[in-house]
Structure 1
Amino acid sequence: MIFDRNSLRGGNLYMDFIERWLGISPDSGDGSTEALYLLAVVAILALVFHKRIMQFARGFFARK
């Protein structure tokens, strides 16, 4: 088994892509910056596809 700095600290190995890509750690390796970026992407997608989401929700909840 190979250990890196995150596995030794109990950090999340999947939430350190900024550290791996850029070689810097803006959030000290806790993953909060990556989580914020993921939340921003989801919010932007929700805004872009708002009409489709609402159409789907109306059709889905109209069924009985």
Structure 2
Amino acid sequence: MAYTVGYNDEKYFLRAFRKSVGMTPTAYRSKQTKMNAAAASASYALPQPSGSRWRARSMPRNLG
């Protein structure tokens, strides 16, 4: 990954990444994988409009 983002020295990339993010790239990847898996398995319901301010809009009439 270091070479992909433009670092020629893998050890320097590791130090810079750890300083910037606060964890190693391996730990970061593990954390992101767990977060993505949790988000994918959770069922999210879209909020339904409520109140008198919401009205279904009709399609415009064909004036041609």
Query: Which structure has the larger Rg?
Result: 2
Common fold, TM-score beyond 0.5? no
